[in-house]
Structure 1
Amino acid sequence: MKKSIRLRARALARFSAPALSVLSLAVAASVQAQGIEVNPVVVSASRMEQPLSQVLSSVSVITRADIDKSQAATLADLLQGEAGFEFGRNGGPGTTTSFFLRGQDSINTVVLMDGVRAQVDQIGAIQTTDFPLHQIERVEILKGNVSALYGNGAIGGVINIITRENKGVPKAYGSASLGSYNTHKASAGYGGTVEDVNFDLNVGQDKSAGFSAVNTTQKTLANPDVDGYKNQYAGAKFEKRISTDTKIGVRLNYNLSNVDYDNGNSFSNTPTDVHKFKRTTESVSGYVRQVVNSDWVSNLNLAHSEYKYDDTLNGAPWPSSTWTNSYFQGRQNALSWNNTYQLQAQTKAVFGADLNEDAFDAKGLNNAVAYVLNRRSQGYFAGATHQIDKLSIQANARRDVFQQQKENSAAGGNYTANTGLLGLGYQLDSFWSLTGTVSSGFSAPTVYAVNSNANIKPEHHHSQEVGTTYQVDDLLMRVLYFQSHAKDAIIYNNAYQYINSDIDNKGWELTARAKVQGYSIKSSVTLQAPRDVGQNLSQARRAKEYGSLDVSKILSGYELGTRLYAAGSRRDSNFTSTTLSGYSTLAFYVSRKIDNEWTARVKLDNAFDRQYQLAYGYNTPGRGIYATLQYQPK
C-alpha cells in the first residue's frame, strides 16, 4: 500500500508540474490584461448562465479561437487533452469512436446540440463523433455525475456543442487545408444580421486517403490497403426577433460520411476484403425564446433527427449468417423546455422537462428486418442557485420515466429514477474559493442489453467531488478530487453478454488556463483509478494518468506554439489480457495574420512520429504536416 501511494504521488508530481508551474508564474508575475477568455460564461453546469469561476462542478470550455488554433481533425481530437476526457478509436478519423468521461463507459456520456440531447443508436452509442468542427462555435465539457440535470446516462458528464452563429453585417467566411495522407479540407459560410433576422449558412468537405486502419503484424488476416475517409456536411441557422421579448429560430444539419475500414477479426476476414460504411445524419429543430417578464425566461426546443448506417463488404451487405445487422436506421423526436426564474436578487431557479422518442430498426441479408426497437423517456427537473454572502449553494432534482420495447418480443423494460445534486461553494478571499458536490444518477439498459440478458438491471451512481479554484484577471486554475461508485453497472463481459457489476473510480483533476508574460498557457492533468470491482479488472482503454500542456506566444506577428499530450498504459478490453502501452505526442504549430481577414496556419502533428494504439491492432496517425488558409472578416 505504501509503495502504491508513493508511486501515485510521483505520478501526481510528474503530471501536475505543468499546471503548478502556471500558478507559480501567475503569483510571481505582475499579470497584465491580455484579452484571453479565461473566465467565459457557461450554461451546462446548472442549465443557467454562470461565469466559469463560479461554477461548482468541473467544466472545461473550448472556444472558436481554440478550435481554429488546434487544426484538429475531428471532435475527438479536439477534446483530447481536456481533463477527464479520453477516447478510443478503431483506426483513423471516421472509424468507430468511443468517448470516455471520468472513466465511465461511452454510453454514460450525454452530448447536447445547442442544449438539446443528441441522438444515440440502438446500443446507446453517440452518433455525433463526426460532427464537423467548422460548424461549432464553442464546446462545454461538464465532467461528473449530472443525471439530476440531464437524466439517463449523464453519469460521466455532458458535452454541450453550441453551433456557429454570426451577427452584424452579413459576411462570408471559410477555410481550405492541405496535408499529409493526401488530406483536403474546404469549408465556406455566410452569415450575419438582416433587419431582425440573424442567419448562418455553411457547407464543407473533409477528405483523406488515410492509412491502413489495422496493424497487419498483429491481425494478419486484415487487408493491408490504406483506408480513406470523406465527410460532407451542410448547416443552416435562422433566428427572427418577433418582438423585444420573443425570438423564434430553426436549425438544419446534414452530414454524410464514407469510411474505409478493416475488420481485424481473424475468424471472419480475408486479406482481400474491402470494408466500408456510410453514415448519414440529418436533423431539423425549431425553438422559441420568450421573455415572460423581467424575472422569467422560457426556452422551448423541438428537434427531429435521423441517422442511417450502412455497413458493406466488397460492395454488398455482409453475407455471413452470423452478422445480420448490416444496415441500421434510427429516428428521434426530442422536446426540451427550459425555464430560468430570478426569485430574488441572490436566488435563481431553473425548471422544465425533457421528452424523447426513439425508434431503431436493423436489416441484414437480403434486406430482411432483424429487429425494431422503440423507447420513450420523460424527465422533469427543477433546481436553484443561491448566494449567502461568501457561500454559494446549488440544488437540483429530477424524475425520469423510461420505457422501451423490442417489437414482437417480450424484451424491453420500464424504469423510473429520482436523482439529485447538491453543491456548495465558499469564497475564501478575492482569489481562492472552495467547492464541493454530491450527486446521484442512473443509466437504463438498452433493449439490446435486455435482449442479451432478461435479468439486467438499471445502474445507479453516487458521486462526490471537492475542489479549490484560484482566479485572477488572466488566470483560472482548479484542483479537485472526485470519486464515484456505480451499483449494477451495465457492462459487456468476455462471455459476450451484458451483465451487472460494480464500478468505482476516484482521482484528481488539475486544470489551468492563463496569459502570463505574453504566453498563452493551457494545461490539464488527470489521475484516476477506474475499476470494475465485480470482475476485479481495471476499466478497458482508460489510462490511470494522462494530461496535456499547450503553450503559445506571439513573436513578430507570428503565433508560435507547441502542444504535448501524454497518457499511461491501458488494458485493451474485457476479452483479452492485452495492455496498450503508454505514449506521448508532441505537435508544433504556427499562424500569422496576413491582414484583418486572412490567417495562414501550419501544424506539424505527432512531430516525432510516435507509434501508439487506442485499440489493440488498430493504427493511429503518424507524423503529419497540415497547412490552412482561413478567411474570417472582423
Structure 2
Amino acid sequence: MHPQFPYFSRRVLAVALLSSISALAPAFAEGGATDLDEVVVTATRTAQTQDQTLAAITVIDRAEIERLQPASVPDLLTGRAGISLANNGGVGKSTSVFLRGTESDHVLVLIDGVKIGSATSGGASLQDIPVEQVERIEIVRGPFSSLYGSEALGGVIQIFTRRPQGAFAPSLSAAVGSEATQRYSAGVAGRTQDAEQRGWYSINAAYQSTDGINAYRGTRNFDPDKDGYRNSSLTLQGGWRFDEQWDADARVFRAEGHNEYDGSANNEADTVQQAIGTRVRYTPSERLKITAGLGTSADLSDNFLNGVYSSTFDTRRELGSLQADIGIADALLTLGFDWLGDKIDSNTDYARDRRINRGAFAQWQQAFGTHSLQASARRDDDSQFGGETTGSVLWGWDFTQALRLSASYGTAFKAPTFNELYFPGYGNPDLGPETSRSVELGLRGEHGWGTWSLNAFDTKIDDMIAFDSSLGATGAPNNIDRARIQGVEGVIGTQLAGWDLRSSLTWLDPRNDGDNPNHDNLLPRRAKQSGRIDADRRFGDFSVGASVTGAGERYDNLTNTTRLAGYGLADLRAGFAFDEAWSVQASVANVFDKRYETAALYNQPGRTWLLTLRYQPVVR
C-alpha cells in the first residue's frame, strides 16, 4: 500500500481482509447469510434468481436497510463493491457516485424501471431519494449499454420503492437525532382479499429535516453557518391482474427538497425528483410475455443566492418501451424497443433544448448443461449525434456444485450532456459519445456456510469529454481524452458464532490514459482501496451491530496535486423489539468523530446519533 495511506485506514482494510479469509473456513460457520433465491431483474431486464445471474450484482433489501439504519441512500452505498462516493457536505448535499472507477455520469439510475437524472449536468441526485421510500436496491456492475443504452458504462443502479408484503401492512416510524434531525414516515400496503389476491397497493409518505453542518470550509462565498436540508416525499403504487394473461401496474414517486449549501455561485436550491411509470403485461402462454411501458421523470432545480432567485435547470424525460420475452426450447430470447425524449427548461439560453433517442435491442439467454450464456446487442439512434451500436457476452461455468467461473466482454457509450453540447460560451455541439470496452473474469462460491465472489475487470474508455484549450480563446469540451481502469472486487457473506457478517473490498487503479500532461495520473475522487464490514447479531428481542468502512487516499483534481487523505469510520447500532409490531432503534455514526473529506474543502459530519421508534406488524 501507499506509504501515506493512514494507519487507521490500513487497519480497516486489513480487518476486512481477515474477515473475508475467516469466512472461507466453513468449520467455524453456522449457515448462509445471503438468500440467492431472491429474484432480480436489472442484470437482464428479465426475472431471474441471484444465483442465476452472470453479472456482478449487489442487492440491498428492506431488511438490511432497517438493520443498518443509514442516514441516506449514499450512506447505504458507501463501501459497497466497486463504489466510490464524493459528497459536498453531508446529508442532502450533492453526491457523485463513481462505479468501477468510471465517471459520475457513467452510471444509469432507475426508479422502478424509469430513468432519472439531469440532462444538463448528467448526474442523478441520489441524495434526494429518501431511504424510507426504498424497498430494494440492485447494483449491477459492468457495461450494460447493450440493454439500456447511454450512461450504463460503469453499471446500473435500480431503486425499487416500497412494496406490499402481505394482505394488509401498515407502517410508521419517527426519529430524532443530532443536528436537530427529524425523520418521519407512514405508509400502508396490501393485497386484495379475493381468492387470487389479484390487486395490490402501496402508499408511503416521508419527511426529513436537519440543521446540517457547515458544509464548506473554502474561501469562495464562505459562510460559516450550518447548511440545512429538508425533504418531503410520497409514493403511490398499485396493480391488478385481470386474468391469467393480462396484468397492469402504475407507480408514482415524488420528492421535494430544500437545500442550503456554500462554495458556489448560489447557496440555496429548491429541488424536485419525480418518476412516474405504468406497465401492461400480456402473457398468452408460458413461452411468451409482452410488456409495454410508459413513463416520465423530472429533475427540477430552482437556485437562489441569499434568498434571491438566480437560475432554473429543469430536466423532463418521457420514456416508452416494448419488450417481448420468447421461450425457445431451453433458451430465452428477448426483443425490445426503447424511446426516450429529453427536454430542458432553463433561464439559461441553450441553442437546443430537446433530443430524442430510439433504441432496439436483442438478448439471448441459455444454459448448456453446466454452462450458461447471456449475449445482447443494441442499436441506439440519437437525434444529436447519430447512431451507436453496443454489445456484450457473458459466460458462466458451474464447474462444481459450489463454484462458478464467469467471463464477459462488453462495449458501452455515454451521450454528451446539454451543458457539454450547448451551454452558452462553453458547449461544443460537435461532441460525440464517449465509448468503452470492458473485459471481466469472475469466480463465485455458494456453500452451506455462506457465499463469496471475486471479480477482476479491465475497462478502456475512449473519446472521453475533456476541456480543450485549443478550441478558441476560452476553450470548450472535446472528445480528446482516454482512461484505463483496472480493478478487483471481493464480496463475502456468512455467519460466524451467531453473527451475520458481510464484507466488501475493492482494489482500483483508475488512470488517465490520454496524450496530455496528466497522462498516468489517477482519475480524481476515486480511492484505490475501499472496503466495508457489517456485523449484526440478535439476542432474543435485542439486536446489535457495527459497520466499519474505509477508503484510501485519492486526489481531487486531474493534476493529482490536491490530495484527500484516506479514512476509516466505525458505526454502532442497537435495537429492541417491544412486541411483534413495535421496536426502538439507536445508532451512532462515525463513533470516533473522524475528520475527513471526500471532496476537497467540503466537510463531512462528525459523530452523529439517531433514535428511531418503528411500528411494523408482522406480515402473515
| Distance change (3 Å), C-alpha of 1:504 and 1:183 | same
Between the aligned partners of 1:255 and 1:592, the Cα distance in structure 2 is 31
Match of 1:199 in 2: 201
Match of 1:409 in 2: none
Between the aligned partners of 2:353 and 2:323, the Cα distance in structure 1 is 28
Match of 2:325 in 1: 340
Between the aligned partners of 1:34 and 1:394, the Cα distance in structure 2 is 27
Match of 1:562 in 2: 546
Between the aligned partners of 2:11 and 2:611, the Cα distance in structure 1 is 36
Q: 372, 375, 388: which is aligned to 1:395?
A: 375
Between the aligned partners of 1:262 and 1:484, the Cα distance in structure 2 is 35
Between the aligned partners of 1:422 and 1:12, the Cα distance in structure 2 is 37
Match of 1:604 in 2: 588
- Say if 2:188 is the partner of 1:190: yes
| Distance change (3 Å), C-alpha of 1:564 and 1:595 | same
Q: Report how far residue 563 of structure 1 moved.
A: 0.5
User: Deviation digits for residues 285-324 of structure 1, max 9, x if unmatched?
Assistant: 2111221211112222211223320110111123xxxxxx
Q: Report how far residue 605 of structure 1 moved.
A: 0.3
Match of 1:298 in 2: 290
- Note the residue ranges of structure 1 that are not aligned, 5 or more in a row: 269-273, 319-325, 404-412
1:498-513 maps to which residues of 2 (within 5 A)? 498-499=477-478, 500-513=480-493
Which of structures 1 and 2 has the larger relative contact order (alpha carbons within 8 angstroms, sep 6+)?
2
Letter in 2 for 1:239: G
Letter in 2 for 1:327: T
User: Deviation digits for residues 344-374 of structure 1, max 9, x if unmatched?
Assistant: 23x122221111101002115xxxx566511
| Distance change (3 Å), C-alpha of 1:400 and 1:591 | same
Q: Report how far residue 21 of structure 1 moved.
A: 3.7
Indicate conservation of the 8 Å contact 2:32/2:494, yes or no.
no
Between the aligned partners of 1:295 and 1:12, the Cα distance in structure 2 is 53
Aligned to 2:43, what secondary structure does the other structure show? coil
Letter in 2 for 1:287: R
Q: 310, 317, 323: which is aligned to 2:309?
A: 317
- Say if 2:236 is the partner of 1:236: yes
Match of 1:408 in 2: none
- Say if 2:508 is the partner of 1:547: no
- Off by >6 Å, runs of 4+ in structure 1: 11-14, 493-496
Q: Report how far residue 45 of structure 1 moved.
A: 1.4
Query: Percent identity, aligned pairs only?
Result: 28
Match of 2:84 in 1: 86
Match of 1:322 in 2: none
Indicate conservation of the 8 Å contact 1:213/1:261, yes or no.
yes
Indicate conservation of the 8 Å contact 2:33/2:494, yes or no.
no
Q: 407, 420, 424: which is aligned to 1:436?
A: 407
Between the aligned partners of 1:202 and 1:174, the Cα distance in structure 2 is 9
- Note the residue ranges of structure 2 that are not aligned, 5 or more in a row: none
Letter in 1 for 2:249: G
Q: 449, 459, 481: which is aligned to 2:420?
A: 449
| Distance change (3 Å), C-alpha of 1:213 and 1:30 | closer
Q: 209, 212, 215: which is aligned to 2:214?
A: 212
Q: Report how far residue 492 of structure 1 moved.
A: 4.8
| Distance change (3 Å), C-alpha of 1:129 and 1:379 | farther
- Say if 2:334 is the partner of 1:350: yes
Q: Report how far residue 529 of structure 1 moved.
A: 0.8
Q: 146, 149, 152: which is aligned to 1:151?
A: 149
Match of 2:224 in 1: 224
Between the aligned partners of 1:307 and 1:101, the Cα distance in structure 2 is 21
Between the aligned partners of 1:393 and 1:609, the Cα distance in structure 2 is 48
Q: Report how far residue 17 of structure 1 moved.
A: 5.8
Between the aligned partners of 1:294 and 1:39, the Cα distance in structure 2 is 21
Indicate conservation of the 8 Å contact 1:181/1:208, yes or no.
yes
Q: Report how far residue 517 of structure 1 moved.
A: 3.2
| Distance change (3 Å), C-alpha of 1:515 and 1:51 | farther
User: Deviation digits for residues 497-517 of structure 1, max 9, x if unmatched?
Assistant: 423201110011001122233
Match of 2:497 in 1: 517
Letter in 1 for 2:301: Y
Aligned to 1:219, what secondary structure does the other structure show? coil
| Distance change (3 Å), C-alpha of 1:60 and 1:34 | closer
Match of 1:414 in 2: 385
- Say if 2:438 is the partner of 1:463: yes
Indicate conservation of the 8 Å contact 1:22/1:514, yes or no.
no
Between the aligned partners of 1:280 and 1:622, the Cα distance in structure 2 is 28
The total of aligned residue pairs comes to 597
Between the aligned partners of 1:416 and 1:137, the Cα distance in structure 2 is 36
| Distance change (3 Å), C-alpha of 1:493 and 1:257 | farther
Q: Report how far residue 525 of structure 1 moved.
A: 0.5
Indicate conservation of the 8 Å contact 2:553/2:566, yes or no.
yes
Match of 2:106 in 1: 108
Q: Report how far residue 121 of structure 1 moved.
A: 3.0
**More displaced, 177-186 or 132-141?**
132-141
| Distance change (3 Å), C-alpha of 1:13 and 1:42 | farther
Between the aligned partners of 1:72 and 1:557, the Cα distance in structure 2 is 21
Between the aligned partners of 1:285 and 1:28, the Cα distance in structure 2 is 45
**More displaced, 387-396 or 35-44?**
35-44
Between the aligned partners of 2:543 and 2:89, the Cα distance in structure 1 is 31
Between the aligned partners of 2:325 and 2:459, the Cα distance in structure 1 is 29
Match of 2:572 in 1: 588
Indicate conservation of the 8 Å contact 1:415/1:444, yes or no.
no
